Amino acid sequence: MNEEALKDTPFERLIVDIVESDRSPEEKKELLAEFHDFDLSQALPLLDPAHRKKFYALLDGPTLADVFEHLDPADAVIHIKELPLPEAAKLLNGMEGDDLVDLIQAFENRDERVGFLAMLSLEKRNSIKAMIDYDDDLVGSIMNNVFISIPPTHTVKQAIKTLVDTAEKTEFINNLYVVENGVLVGVLSLKEVISAGNKQETPIRDLMSVNLVTVRPTTRKEEAVSIFRDYDFMLLPVVDGEGRMLGIISFDDMIEAQAAASDEDYAKFAAVADVDVDDDKETLVASFKKRMPWLAILLVFDVLTSSIVAGFGGIIAAIPTLALFMPLILSMCGNTGTQSLGVIIRLFAENRLDTKKAVLIHLYHEFLTGLVNGLILGVLVFGLVLGLQALNGAAVSATLPFAAVVAVAITIALMVSTVAGAAVPLLCKLFKVDPAVASGPFITTINDILSLLIYFGLASMLLGSLM
């Protein structure tokens, strides 16, 4: 393969070619060492079982553990079963705590999960036990309990030695955490340690920062994301109620967690929560069981919507033109409600609605937004109705009341729908229900009901005398 072709070839394809080539194992190891762990992980599914076995043998233990950390947990479960038990045990014990927890939890078979847990050393098993017990939306579930700690009595020279001795075994060396009797008392960045290299005998307590920003294992991930954003940190220490150091969380892990949460919220928006959008092997029965309950609930609301239309059958029969603009009202109100829902779910994710004042300000902002949009669109619709009726030969004087009803209805309905799009998820949160459950289909259906009541209610009151 020429040099130009090599540049255009994906790294994972190059890795596959190396593994499947006739080169000696030593040459293959040397070539594979040039690739990033992520690229190695991407090549793994492209290899057939026989070549995957060779691939495992070409990587040393730490590298193979890093490769598995980059895999999707479900894929990692499949591939770890291909390893001999001693190699699988070595790999599991070499993985970082948070990635190991994800892998263990991905085992669907309980007996297999217990069997692989038994392969862990006692120390490793105890270190991840707490993480397994925490809910997925809490910081404790992604906490890494491997970090560099030093006592405050250490000198800069001793701190540098500790850093050098433990760097290879630690994923993050950005910060050194100063711990006394298990309690976090200070933190020192790698840059500060290196900068103090000419002060070899200076005690760490004289250099460390004591203004600590920490989180608890029970802190919600959304709150941790806000702290990362506010302080521009890459790592945050996790402590218990008494300040004892439990572990650390990284910004990278939080980004991954937030991305996963966003995927889940998008699924809930479409009323397909719990459906794995990446799983193309899901059975028809499983898909049916996950989606049918949501569709049944929406059916009840839709029957109510149809009943409202039927209840106003009299005025629709007297003024058939009312039905002409019903889709316009429903579409505009559904759209504005979904927009409002999307905004507030994003604010929830960023933890920006954590006070009563912030909630009231947002609701007031949504009210004004709905009012302004409603007034502008109401004027446009007023002119549109007059124009369409004129094209049909209707007199302007006869069309004015009807155009006014449509314009006022869309103004009020847009204002109400915009506020409803924000209020419904707020009520869900108040009653301890996931706000994302107030998904697009639900908001749209609720706004259909409200907008129809407003539209036909105004028509009955204002145009009834003309019937």
Write down the domain spans for the chain. 3-132, 149-257, 284-466
Q: In the predicted model, is pLDDT for residue 398 greater than 50?
A: yes
Q: In the predicted model, is pLDDT for residue 269 greater than 60?
A: no
Query: Where does residue 169 rank: exposed (0-12), middle (13-18), buried (19+ CB within 10 A)?
Result: exposed
Give the pairing type, strands 235-239 and 183-189.
unpaired
Residue 209, pLDDT score: 93
For the chain, how far is it from start to end, CA to CA, in angstroms? 83
Q: In the predicted model, is pLDDT for residue 402 greater than 90?
A: no
The C-alpha angle with vertex 134 and arms to 130 and 135, in degrees rounded to 5, equals: 165
Residue 6, pLDDT score: 47
Tell me the fold of 284-466.
Tetracycline Repressor; domain 2 (1.10.357)
Residue 2, pLDDT score: 46
Residue 144, pLDDT score: 85
3-state DSSP: the chain helix, strand, coil percent, rounded to 5? 70, 5, 25
Between CA 323 and CA 309 the distance in angstroms is 10
Q: In the predicted model, is pLDDT for residue 4 greater than 50?
A: no
- For residue 174, give every residue at least 6 positions away whose Cβ sits within 8 Å of its Cβ, in sequence order, or none: 189, 190, 234, 235
Query: pLDDT category, 214, cuts 50, 70, 90?
Result: very high
**Distances 58 to 53, 95, 198 between C-alpha atoms, Å:** 9, 18, 43
Q: In the predicted model, is pLDDT for residue 296 greater than 90?
A: no
Instruction: Strand 183-189: give its sheet, edge to edge.
Output: 149-150, 175-180, 183-189
- For residue 86, give every residue at least 6 positions away whose Cβ sits within 8 Å of its Cβ, in sequence order, or none: none
- For residue 446, give every residue at least 6 positions away whose Cβ sits within 8 Å of its Cβ, in sequence order, or none: 301, 337, 420, 424
73-82, 120-129, 246-255, 411-420: least confident range: 120-129
Reported as a single tens digit per residue, the pLDDT across 184-194 is: 999 999 889 88
Residue 182, pLDDT score: 92
Superfamily of domain 3-132 in CATH is MgtE N-terminal domain-like (1.25.60.10)
- For residue 150, the surrounding DSSP H or E stretch is strand 149-150
Reported as a single tens digit per residue, the pLDDT across 330-361 is: 888 888 988 888 888 778 767 788 788 999 99
Q: In the predicted model, is pLDDT for residue 277 greater than 50?
A: no
Reported as a single tens digit per residue, the pLDDT across 61-106 is: 889 999 999 999 889 999 999 998 889 999 998 888 778 888 988 8
**Distances 347 to 184, 357, 425 between C-alpha atoms, Å:** 32, 14, 11
Residue 401, pLDDT score: 86
Give me 224's structure tokens: 């941790």
Reported as a single tens digit per residue, the pLDDT across 243-267 is: 999 999 988 877 776 666 665 655 5
Residue 325, pLDDT score: 86
Give me 85's structure tokens: 């038990």
Of residues 463 and 247, the one with the higher pLDDT is: 247
DSSP code for 187: E
Residue 283, pLDDT score: 60
Residue appearing with tokens 């008494």: 242
How far does Cα 432 stand from its chain's mean position?
Answer: 19
Q: In the predicted model, is pLDDT for residue 292 greater than 80?
A: no
Between CA 344 and CA 336 the distance in angstroms is 13
Reference 460, options 332, 311, 301, 327; nearest CA is 311
Q: In the predicted model, is pLDDT for residue 407 greater than 70?
A: yes
pLDDT mean across residues, the chain = 84
What residue type is 10 in one-letter code?
Answer: P
Reported as a single tens digit per residue, the pLDDT across 435-445 is: 665 556 778 88
To the question of domain 149-257 being in CATH 3.10.580.10, the answer is yes
**Helix or strand or coil: residue 277?**
coil
Contact 20, 54 (CB under 8 A): no
Residue 274, pLDDT score: 53
Between CA 90 and CA 83 the distance in angstroms is 10
- Angle separating helix axes 440-463 and 396-430, nearest 10 degrees: 140
Alpha helices in 44-155 (DSSP H): 49-58, 61-70, 73-80, 85-94, 97-105, 110-117, 122-133
Residue 424, pLDDT score: 86
Residue 287, pLDDT score: 66
Reference 322, options 412, 408, 403, 411; nearest CA is 403
Overall average pLDDT of the 374-383 stretch: 93
Overall average pLDDT of the 314-341 stretch: 87
Q: In the predicted model, is pLDDT for residue 40 greater than 50?
A: yes
Between CA 403 and CA 227 the distance in angstroms is 52
Reference 176, options 164, 166, 190, 161; nearest CA is 190
Beta bridge partners of 203: 155
Overall average pLDDT of the 22-28 stretch: 93
Residue 5, pLDDT score: 45
Of residues 368 and 295, the one with the higher pLDDT is: 368
HSE-up of 261 (CA within 13 Å, CB side)? 22
193 CB neighbour count, 10 Å cutoff: 20
Give me Rg for the CA atoms of the chain. 31
187-191, 289-293, 423-427: least confident range: 289-293
Q: In the predicted model, is pLDDT for residue 25 greater than 70?
A: yes
**Distances 102 to 45, 136, 143, 253, 290 between C-alpha atoms, Å:** 19, 10, 11, 12, 23
**Distances 147 to 57, 370, 417 between C-alpha atoms, Å:** 29, 50, 50
- For residue 253, give every residue at least 6 positions away whose Cβ sits within 8 Å of its Cβ, in sequence order, or none: 98, 142, 144
Count of residues in the chain: 467
